[in-house]
Structure 1
Amino acid sequence: MATLLRPSLASTEIQEKPNFKITRHRLLIFLLLMSVLTVGFSLLSVSKSRFLRAGGVLGLIPELMEPISLNLWIRPPRSLTHDMTDEELLWRASIVPQRKNYPFKRTLKIALMFLTKGPLPLYPLWEKFFEGHEMFYSIYIHSTPSYQAGFPKSSPFYGRQIPSQIVEWGKMSICDAERRLLANALLDFSNEWFVLLSETCIPLVKFSEVHSYITQSKQSFLDAFDDLGVYGRGRYNPNMKPEINLTDWRKGSQWFQVDRVAAVAIVKDEIFYPKFKEFCQPACYVDEHYFPTMLTIEMADRLANRSLTWVDWSRGGFHPATFGGGGDVAEGLLKSILQGQSCLYNGQPSSRCHLFARKFSPGALSSLLELAPRVLGYG
């Protein structure tokens, strides 16, 4: 009877084998599931990383981290790097509030925009000029796309290059670069005034005087005069009618200072730009005519019809005089630029007409650094 109650080895195998199959099957399913989850999380991490590098931090992430608020719309870009085309950038920069009163406190700034091929050799002088006034200015640099600036992290010029394109003298690409600078600067609501400068420009007076002069002016400073000669009206093309008539044609220096209203008018323009691009070819020198003509038609009463940037044309020729080293830059030169000036400021006679000067070569830097504290009031 005992042998009848004891199960045989064969019967044990028959009873245990199905349980072993079920256990192995569940293990395989579990391992497969874990593999799928691992691959999924890996793909999600890669996708998230690419999204953040592509600008997700500047876009979606803040919305997830904080409730929708005014701060999301008014904070300036954290970086000047972006992948917008010119058309996208100009469209974005042309979006302006329709209410004059801002519902938040603005520390109004002057945007200093440098149009240069490469280095800014005079930047140590500008650093002396900016010292102690960090809350009241912004810097934007448009250089040759391949050029990578080597400013130290401590410099106000560090990381201030905007996405740029090739610029050719006398062609529309110069105006494109200037509009590109304005558009990038307009993305910061704190920027209220915009000054175009070259790598050869220097500040003639201390920052507080520049700030006071520009912020208290009722007009923008841009050359816009009617030149009846061959280098003025002689460059006009009748094909520009009816948008631009001969009597509208103006000429002036490209080195301007404009307020936010004029800056927006420049970046949003789709009426005059096509005419100048097609009919103001190299011999026309579009940078001397586009902005002066367009702004005269749009807002003549808002222009002072003069530039804030001094140049010396006394030597003749197609280009102004350049000042370099070897005693070329002396105290007498700087004082002669600052003294004996006469112009209108807010409708009243003024002896202060220029805040900047050009053209100063890299060789002038050491002399300028030495003279600036005594003659220019900074450094």
Structure 2
Amino acid sequence: MGRSREKEDAESRFNSPVSISVADSSVSLLKLISILIIFVVGVVIGLVSSSHIDRYFSFRADQFNIKNIYFAADQFSSDSEKMLVNCERECALSMESFIRPLNLNHRMTDDELFWRASMVPQKEEFPFKRVPKVAFMFMTRGPLPMMPLWDRFFSGQDVDKYSIYVHALPGFELNVSNSSVFYRRQIPSQHVEWGSVSLVDGEKRLLANALLDFSNERFVLLSESCIPIYNFQTVYKYLTRSVHSFVESYDNPSRYGRGRYNRRMKPDIRLTDWRKGSQWFEIHRTLAIKIVADTKYYKLFKKYCHPSCYPDEHYIPTYLHKFYGALNANRTVTYVDWSLMGPHPATFTAVNITEGFLQSLRNNGTLCSYNTEKTSVCYLFARKFDSSALEPLLNISSQVLGF
């Protein structure tokens, strides 16, 4: 009996640590597994949560940016900038905006403008109904005193047959009512000075802006003192049916012609190439593109034809004579009276405006060539008219001029 107890006590002391050790190990394993499960679940929850948070903040950031864009455009942009934003959304890649720009208030530099205007489609057929237009381009220092007469000239005419462009001195704004054909027809301009190459820059700027409209076929340069001496239909048919452009280009052997030539222009421009002519031209689209695209000969005039040379009287006449003489009628369609023999032509005031005077401008007894035939209709426009001439012109225009 005693031995039996001692045996049981000994076995108990021997087995007890083993049992405890096994139990402890099981508990530790369970804890480790639990910790691993909790860790994995935590990682999964963290990844999912961070994805949602990123999306949430990205979405909020986008909303914030969009709100800022609209806020800035609506609150701080000018009307022209709002139009630009709207155009970028609605007119992007629009055929209509490409072939017929409606907003003339662009931000292109001259180099950018001339480059774009010189582009020529290689495909001859037009993918739209093209009605040839006449671009009336006004070079002015400020107001257009003859504007009421021009408004009457264009009144009731097909708007698909003409376009208007105004180049004025920087800072001047042509404020007219929206009922006028001159409404919003002012182009971005720069300073021009009589007798300098900047006047040629202004002419090229007008041509380039007008060339952006692919329907413009003929381009006539006018001043603020010019008037039409025939009605619109006569002018339109005369120009659009002509096979020639109308740029005065002739050889003047005097000091006012050859005397202005600079020998440093050789060999690209020789004395035999040198020509003189009136600044007030009318040209076909083909020649307008050539003039706008020219850099080489323009740079020669800019470098060597200084104020006493008067680049506006020589650059285009010389350039066209040298390369495109066969396309030019070598005369102008704008009448100017140089009988006073001064640096400027005669100015017509109110006392000059009579029916007989206007008839003499239209039919002065001279003949000229038109499409290889002789005609008595040589001038379509006339200058130089003082603002005082406006009222008498309006009084008799319907009887004499036909508008």
TM-score, scaled to structure 1: 0.86
Shift of 1:228: 1.0
- Residues matched between the structures, number: 345
Q: 1:219 offset after TM fit, Å?
A: 0.2
Displacement of 1:69: 6.8
Alpha-carbon distance in 2 for matches of 1:135, 1:72: 15
Is 1:114 equivalent to 2:135 in the alignment? no
Structure-1 residue corresponding to 2:84: 55
Pick closer, same or farther for the CA change 1:227–1:56 going to 2, 3 Å.
same
Unmatched tracts of structure 2, length 5 or more: 1-52
8 A contact 1:193–1:215 mirrored in 2: yes
Alignment correspondent of 1:221:
246
Match of 2:198 in 1: 173
Looking at structure 1, the residues matched to 61 and 362 of structure 2 have their Cα atoms a distance apart, in angstroms, of: 75
- Alignment match, 2:111: 87
Distance 2:143 2:134 in 1: 22
Q: Cα offset for 1:150? A: 1.6
SS of equivalent residue, structure 1 residue 367 = helix
Aligned-partner SS, 2:199: helix
Deviation at 1:149, TM superposition (A): 1.3
Asked whether the equivalents of residues 171 and 286 of structure 1 are also in contact (C-alpha less than 8 Å), the reply is: yes
The residue that corresponds to 1:105 in the other structure is 129
Deviation readout 1:282-312 (Å, 9 max, x if unpaired): 0001100000001111200000000000011
Q: CA deviation at 1:187?
A: 0.3
The residue identity in structure 2 corresponding to 1:165 is Q
- 1:60 Cα deviation after fit: 5.0
Rounded to whole Å, the distance in 2 between the matches of 1:276 and 1:121 is 32
| Displacement after TM superposition at 1:242 (Å) | 1.5
The answer to whether 1:130 aligns with 2:154 is: yes
Aligned CA distance change for structure 1 residues 266 and 151 (closer, same or farther; 3 Å): same
The SS at the match of 2:201 is: helix
The within-5 A match list for 1:276-315 is: 276-315=301-340
Q: Which residue of 1 aligns with 2:294?
A: 269
What is the alpha-carbon distance in structure 1 between the residues aligned to residue 279 and residue 86 of structure 2? 37
The change in CA–CA distance for 1:295 and 1:57 in structure 2 (over 3 A counts) is farther
Question: TM-score by structure 2 length?
Answer: 0.81
1:141 aligns with 2:170: no
Match of 2:67 among 39, 42, 55: 42
The structure where helix makes up a greater share of residues is: 2
Larger radius of gyration: 2
Instruction: Trace 1:1-379 onto structure 2 (pairs within 5 A).
Output: 39-46=64-71, 53=82, 55-63=84-92, 70-71=95-96, 73-74=98-99, 76-133=100-157, 134-325=159-350, 327-339=351-363, 340-378=365-403
SS in 2 for 1:369: helix
One-letter code of the match for 1:330? T
Q: Which residue identity does 2:306 align to in structure 1?
A: Q
The SS at the match of 2:125 is: coil
Instruction: Please identify, of 32-41 and 296-305, the stretch whose mean Cα deviation from structure 2 is larger.
Output: 32-41
Q: Do the aligned partners of 1:144 and 1:166 also contact (CA within 8 Å) in 2?
A: yes
Classify the secondary structure of the residue corresponding to 1:284.
coil
SS in 1 for 2:91: helix
CA contact (8 A) 1:323 1:364 kept: yes
Aligned-pair distance for 1:145?
1.1
Query: Does the residue aligned with 2:135 lie in a helix, a strand or coil?
Result: strand
CA distance in 2, matches of 1:36, 1:346: 68
Runs of 5+ consecutive residues of structure 1 not aligned to the other structure: 1-28
In structure 1, C-alpha distance between the alignment counterparts of 2:167 and 2:97, rounded to whole Å: 27
For the 8 Å contact 1:204–1:376, the answer to whether it is kept is yes
Identity %: 49
C-alpha separation in 2, matches of 1:358 and 1:40: 57
Query: How far, CA to CA, are the matches of 1:73 and 1:195 in structure 2?
Result: 23
Change (3 A) 1:52 1:152: closer
